[in-house]
Amino acid sequence: MWYWYLLIPILFLSLIAQARVKSTFNKYNNIGTKSGLTGTQAARMILNMNNLHNVRIEGVSGELTDHYDPRSNVLRLSDSTRDVNSIAAIGVAAHEAGHAIQDGVNFVPNKIRASLVPVARIGSAAGPYLAIIGVVISYSVEFGMTLAYIGLALYVFAFLFYLVTLPVEFNASNRAVKILSATGILAPDELKGAKKVLNAAAMTYVASTISALFSLLRIAVIVLSGRRRD
């Protein structure tokens, strides 16, 4: 029963976080800024200020699909950000520029997250299945529990990826707020709105990490229960 008692509030938290970031973004994406800059212009200005002239800015379809790709040195801004002059668009663009700055200064948590990507993808996709299959076949196959432990270990890396993402995202937002404030790209009253957008987005990462922790605990309980029966 503990599984269901925990699952429901975690799902509720995730839904609330997603709804909040969307409503907050939509609210401040309808409010223009005094500077008149678009998301692309603000991002380019921030990148140039940090000697990141080699980072290209490209478009990507969708809403809130903005991201920085360190492999190709490309900052991709979504349709809702790229050519839009709004508090939300500039806030999001500055946040993604913050990731480019992290890459430029070799921000340690960012490097750790990048190194975890390959195994985290495998762990997230295959870890739970390997753990469950291993426990099931352990009744008749000798290496069953070994397979279960491998699945559990793989998912640990997936959880670590979510965990290290938190300082990476919070740091990118902090960098964005400081730069927007110091450069005057956003006025003080506009900066308050940008902070709300970035804080709402940060809560989605917190919710995802809590969900990943819950999944890890569930897999661990299944594997350990299988070991006791064995």
Give 124's contacts (C-beta < 8 A, 6+ positions apart). Answer: 155, 158, 161
Do strands 67-69 and 56-60 pair parallel, antiparallel, or not at all (unpaired)?
unpaired
Contact between 170 and 159 under an 8 Å Cβ cutoff? The reply is no
Tell me the torsion sign for CA atoms 136, 139, 141, 147. Answer: positive
* Paired strand residues for 76: 58, 67
CA atoms of 152 and 157, how far apart (whole Å) = 9
Active site (catalytic) residues: 96
CA atoms of 94 and 55, how far apart (whole Å) = 14
CA atoms of 149 and 89, how far apart (whole Å) = 45
Q: Where are the beta strands (DSSP E) in the chain?
A: 56-60, 67-69, 74-78
CA distances from 171 to 86, 98, 107 (A): 22, 8, 9
